[in-house]
C-alpha cells in the first residue's frame, strides 16, 4: 500500500507540474513572448512552434526574454540548499546552465537565481496542510541557504489544494515579505497572475 500511495502522490505532482506548465506557456503566448523549452527525453532546447500541444508532457524547462534572458528549470538540485527545488528561475540563458559539475554553470552562482518555488499538485484537501508544511519548510531552507551567502532571491508557492488555515499563514508571510508570491493552481486568475509575475521578473 505505501508504494501505491507514493505512486499516486508522484502522479499528482506530475499532473500539477503539467497544468502549471500549460498555464505558463499560455501566458507567454498571450504576452507575445517567444520561448524555447527543454525536452526531458532528448535533453535539448526546442524553439517554440505553431503547434505547442502536449509539450508540457515532456517539458522540464522554459526560456524567454524579460529584462534579460530568463530560464526556468524544473526539479533542480540547488547547491546552496543541497536539496531538490521544484522551480528555479534564473537570470541566465539556457546555455549558461549545466547540471553537471561545471563550476561556471549558473546554477552554482547564487546571484543568478531570481526566484525559487515549491509546487504541490495534490488536490486532496485532507493532505493539503501536510503539503504546505513540507513546502514551507523547503522554502525556509532555501531562504536560509541563500541568506548565508548574502543573497535574497524571491520565493513562491503554487498548490492545488489550499485550505483556510494555510491561506491565512501564506497571507501573513506575503504581508511580511517572507513569501514573495503564492497561487492556488485550481484558481485560473491566481495561476495566470503568478505566471505573469514570473515572466516579468
Joined grid coordinates for residue 124:
486532496
Question: What pLDDT shows up at residue 23?
Answer: 94
Do 162 and 128 touch, CB atoms closer than 8 A? yes
**CB neighbour list of residue 49: distance below 8 Å, 6 or more residues apart:** none
Query: What whole-number percentage of the chain has pLDDT above 90?
Result: 67
Q: Any idea what the CATH number is for the domain that residue 171 is in?
A: 3.40.91.10
Question: What pLDDT shows up at residue 3?
Answer: 38
More confident residue, 24 or 132: 24
The alpha carbon torsion through 177, 142, 84, 44 (nearest 10 deg) reads: 70
Instruction: Please report which confidence band the pLDDT of residue 55 belongs to, taking 50, 70 and 90 as the band edges.
Output: confident
6 pLDDT exceeds 60?
no
Question: What pLDDT shows up at residue 33?
Answer: 94
How far, in Å, CA of 58 to CA of 198, rounded?
21
Work out how many domains the chain is built from and give that number.
Answer: 1
Average confidence (pLDDT) over 24-53: 90
pTM for this model (two decimals): 0.89
Average confidence (pLDDT) over 162-188: 90
36 pLDDT exceeds 50?
yes
Question: What pLDDT shows up at residue 164?
Answer: 76
Measuring CA to CA, which residue among 168, 178, 89, 84 is closest to residue 134? 84
pLDDT tens-digit series, residues 133-143 = 888 999 999 99
Instruction: Please report which confidence band the pLDDT of residue 102 belongs to, taking 50, 70 and 90 as the band edges.
Output: confident
Domain that residue 140 falls in: 2-47+54-199
8 pLDDT exceeds 50?
no
The secondary element (H helix, E strand) that includes residue 154 is strand 154-159
Do 58 and 41 touch, CB atoms closer than 8 A? yes
Amino acid at each position: 500500500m505505501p508504494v501505491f500511495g507514493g505512486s499516486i502522490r508522484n502522479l499528482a505532482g506530475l499532473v500539477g507540474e503539467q497544468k502549471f506548465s500549460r498555464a505558463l506557456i499560455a501566458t507567454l503566448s498571450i504576452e507575445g513572448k517567444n520561448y524555447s523549452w527543454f525536452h526531458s527525453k532528448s535533453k535539448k532546447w526546442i524553439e517554440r512552434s505553431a503547434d505547442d500541444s502536449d509539450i508540457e508532457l515532456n517539458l522540464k524547462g522554459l526560456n524567454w526574454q524579460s529584462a534579460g534572458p530568463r530560464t526556468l528549470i524544473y526539479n533542480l538540485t540547488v547547491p546552496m540548499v543541497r536539496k531538490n527545488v521544484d522551480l528555479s528561475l534564473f537570470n541566465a540563458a539556457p546555455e549558461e546552465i549545466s547540471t553537471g559539475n561545471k563550476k561556471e554553470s549558473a546554477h552554482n552562482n547564487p546571484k543568478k537565481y531570481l526566484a525559487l518555488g515549491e509546487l504541490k499538485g495534490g488536490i486532496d484537501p485532507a493532505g493539503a496542510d501536510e503539503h504546505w508544511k513540507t513546502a514551507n519548510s523547503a522554502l525556509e531552507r532555501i531562504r536560509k541557504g541563500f541568506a548565508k551567502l548574502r543573497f535574497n532571491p524571491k520565493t513562491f508557492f503554487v498548490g492545488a489544494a489550499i485550505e483556510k488555515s494555510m491561506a491565512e499563514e501564506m497571507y501573513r508571510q506575503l504581508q511580511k515579505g517572507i513569501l514573495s508570491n503564492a497561487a492556488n493552481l485550481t484558481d485560473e486568475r491566481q495561476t495566470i497572475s503568478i505566471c505573469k509575475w514570473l515572466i516579468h521578473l
